[in-house]
Amino acid sequence: MRIGAHISDYDPVTAATQRNAAAVQFFLSDPQNWRAPQPHPQAAQLLEADLFVYVHSPYVLNVASLNNRIRIPSRKLVTQHAAAAAAVGARGLVVHGGHLAKGEDPAHGVENWRKMFDRQADEGGFATRILVENTAGGDNAMARRFDSLARLWDAIGDYDVGFCLDTCHAFAAGENLVDAVDRVMAITGRIDLVHCNNSRDEFGSARDRHAPLRAGTIEPDQLVAVCAAADAPVILETDPTTQADDIAWLRAELSEG
């Protein structure tokens, strides 16, 4: 199993070596703005490195939105980031499920996701597989609760789309981690990536605040069990100062299991 971490985007190869990571995830642009990604200075090294590479899309994206000023630029950036991710050999582009405003019908958000894949299919598909990630909060979120995820997957599951399971997000959303992998697999048929994060907040808090693997409110053994059951590459999105120790600990726990 490949275990790694979300790291700084300017020198991911060195950061991976420092953490003894076998996988890396990073942003290709500022996650809080709408700028298009630029060519990565380590693209050649990343293509040659023995690393599983993943790219996380900017947080501002919301392809479900009913607001044209948000949805249309979001679709454009997903396409741009998928192409830029392919240029560094990424196995997937992680995109949050998004949400609608209060009072809006979630069915329209689901349809907007379908339209994005349908339109891109006419162009030959995305350059890198899109990995939809579950989110922690939001009453009108597309992928917060697993029942909402099921509605979304009914619309997009026939496209070349993957899924990223975030443990902190699921826990914060009020989804029990004990059988989370089985329930997700029953919906999507796949888990392409696990974001293994502990939570600083209590179960069902709807707060997206990550903690190191052995320093949060989730029992560490539950995190190990999720990773083992998913049998997918793992990325830690935690404090950089704890990532090397947590990678070593998780690798040892999974080996012993």
- How many Å apart are CA 233 and CA 135, to the nearest integer? 19
Residues 49-98: tens digit of each pLDDT: 999 999 999 999 999 999 999 999 999 999 999 999 999 999 999 999 99
Bridging pattern class, strands 193-195 and 161-166: parallel
- In the prediction, which pLDDT does 257 show? 60
Helix, strand, coil % (nearest 5) of the chain?
A: 40, 15, 45
Bridging pattern class, strands 52-56 and 3-6: unpaired
- In the prediction, which pLDDT does 218 show? 98
What's the chain's average pLDDT? 96
Q: Name the amino acid, one letter, at 51.
A: L
Rounded alpha-carbon distances, angstroms, from residue 93 to 13, 180, 186, 214, 223: 18, 22, 22, 27, 23
Average pLDDT rounded to a whole number, residues 169-198:
98
- In the prediction, which pLDDT does 10 show? 87
Percent of the chain with pLDDT over 70: 100
Q: Which of 170, 191, 192 is nearest to 182 (CA)?
A: 191
